[in-house]
Amino acid sequence: MVRIMTIKVAINGYGTIGKRVADAVDAQDDMEIVGVTKTRPAFGCDLAVRKGYPIFCTYDDADRIAAFGAAGYTCHGGLSDLLEIADIVVDCSPGKVGASNKEKYESAGIKWIFQGGEKHAMTGNSYTSSANHTENLGVEGTRVVSCNTTGLSRTLVPLYEHCGSLSVECTMIRRAADPGDSSKGPINAIKPVLKVPSHHGPDVMTVKPEIQINSMAVAVPTTLMHVHVIVATLPEGHGLTTESVLSMWNARPRIVIMNGSETGITTTAEVMEFARDIGRKWGDLHEIFVWEDGVKLEGNTLYYFQAIHQESDVIPENVDAIRALMNTEPDWMASVAKTDAAISSYNHL
């Protein structure tokens, strides 16, 4: 008889990414949420209660744990108690607090996944399903790359696999803040990232080192999505046309291609309205959106635009990364299909 293992998943940091990863994990039949952490009994605890996720305190101090009870929430203990009952922890804490959390995961002896706000140098491994699922099979820990790196990989990796080499320049037009974030900007300016090249393009090389890529970035006053303006140089004899590039992307998971002039979806506002129309939770769009009429291959140069829903493209990647680390699904396409089928069914409830 085949034993079906249910992977016990802890979420450390129940914010924008953490609450989405929790629901995506909860929708799968091979994993379950054993607890989520909050730093204090505030915004977010009611959501966890409604979803039936046990709440733990981010810290182990008795006073902080007791504060939850005083505010009317059942707190099942501190982070150490949560790590004891989990097989793997998905760290969704704010970027750059990872190093101290990693020590806690290592002493608890469980597997760990960080997010794109942490550096590859801290985790030693990075993950995105389309690029390097196999390299992450069975490893102790990894980092699901950022929303931008995930988006770039979705369209560039298949191109690289066809061409055997690829050189890319891209400009990242970045949202200023997430919709639920009241503390960031700019609200009336365009802010160039004065570190050149920006980290976004080179970060692709943490999951696909063979792709030569550089990027520049600007932050603009919008909260909805990022847009990438991409110019890729293909090698001589690539044998592709604009149409065959589109067919290649169409055959890959988590890429949506639509014609702007035909559909009227010409800006990120309409892309997000489309996402809300299809009934995804939080109005999420896990797929990368490519405008068909914005793609053009001229000789060896491919030009295209793509839009990234920053809060959600990495969510299914975390589910696939759990399967890679737990070594329960060696085939990335099989994992992606399983993840997406489960998320779609809950999306349409």
The DSSP output letter for 314 is: T
- Out of 13, 54, 151, 201, name the contact with ligand NAP by CB under 6 A: 13
The verdict on 314 binding ligand NAP (CB under 6 A) reads yes
Q: Under rule CB under 6 A, how many of the chain's residues touch ligand NAP?
A: 29
| Alpha carbon distance 307, 286 (integer Å) | 11
Is 258 an interacting residue with respect to ligand NAP (CB under 6 A)? no
Residue 46 within binding range of ligand NAP, rule CB under 6 A: no
3-state secondary structure of 174: strand
Nearer to ligand NAP, 122 or 189 (CB): 122
Q: How far is the CB of 16 from ligand NAP (least distance, A)?
A: 3
- Contact pick of 25, 38, 335, 336 for ligand NAP (by CB under 6 A): 38
Element (H, E) at 102: helix 98-108
Q: What b/e readout covers 201-215, taking b as 16+ CB neighbours within 10 angstroms?
A: bbbbebbbeebbbeb
Give the nearest residue (CB) to ligand NAP: 15
172 Cα distance to chain centroid: 17
Q: By CB under 6 A, is residue 338 in contact with ligand NAP?
A: no
Candidate segments 27-35, 113-121, 128-136, 228-236, binder of ligand NAP by CB under 6 A: 113-121
Minimum CB–partner distance for residue 68 and ligand NAP (Å): 11
Segment interacting with ligand NAP, rule: CB under 6 A, options 63-71, 110-118, 120-128, 244-252:
110-118
**Distance from C-alpha of 65 to C-alpha of 37, rounded to nearest angstrom:** 11
User: Residues, the chain, total?
Assistant: 349
147 is a catalytic site residue: yes
- What backbone phi and psi angles, to 5 degrees, belong to 232? -115, 135
Q: Is 54 in the site for ligand NAP (CB under 6 A)?
A: no
Distance in Å, CB of 100 to ligand NAP, minimum: 7
For residues 21 and 53, give the distance between their C-alpha atoms in angstroms, rounded to a whole number: 12
Least distance in angstroms from the C-beta of 144 to ligand NAP: 8
Using rule CB under 6 A, residue 310 touches ligand NAP: yes
Dist CA 249 CA 289 (whole Å): 11
Q: Which of 57, 75, 147, 170 is catalytic?
A: 147
Give whichever of 30 and 284 is closer to ligand NAP, judged by the CB atom: 284
Interface of this chain with ligand NAP, residues 156 to 185, rule: CB under 6 A:
178
Give yes or no for residue 14 binding ligand NAP (CB under 6 A): yes
Residue type, 254: R
Nearest residue to 87 (alpha-carbon basis) of 335, 315, 327, 314: 327
Q: How far is the CB of 116 from ligand NAP (least distance, A)?
A: 4
Closest CA to 83 of 121, 118, 57, 44: 57
Dihedral pair phi/psi, residue 147, rounded to 5°: -60, -40
Whole-angstrom Cα distance, residue 111 to residue 271?
36
**Helix pair angle (332-347, 16-26), 10° resolution:** 100
| Catalytic (active-site) positions | 147
Site residues (CB under 6 A) for ligand NAP?
Answer: 12-18, 37-40, 44, 58, 92-95, 97, 101, 115-118, 146-147, 178, 310-311, 314
